Amino acid sequence: MNYTGNEDHAISLADAAELTARYRAQFSAETFYIKGEYFGKNTLNSLLNQTGCVGARMYYGLKADQTQCLVIVGVDSNGNDMTTGEIMEMGLPCPVTCSVDNALNC
């Protein structure tokens, strides 16, 4: 498959809310879990502006303390991870840096 960077990944708020609610429902009220992570625009642009990068792939990761995280890597037009380029983690996790309550996080 050839990747162009123009693939459409849009979904409705209702569908996004259903997906995130299903994720949250798998945890008990006593369990700490990450709902999402924030990555700054300049950091994401740095990854996306690499030569040959047409998009990004996000991998789910687990830190040594068992906290979930995202690992983000650029993707080239052949759909391959650009592992010799920038790779990101260190997003600001929610909870701690959450948005106000909305359909995606409560």
What is the structure's pLDDT at 42?
94
pTM as predicted: 0.85
Q: Is the distance from CB of 98 to CB of 105 less than 8 angstroms?
A: yes
Which element (helix H / strand E) includes 20? helix 13-25
Indicate the residue type of 60.
Y
- pLDDT tens for each residue of 80-89: 999 999 999 8
Cis check for the bond before 93: say yes or no (omega within 30 of 0).
Answer: no
- pLDDT tens for each residue of 18-58: 999 999 999 998 888 888 999 999 999 999 999 999 999 99
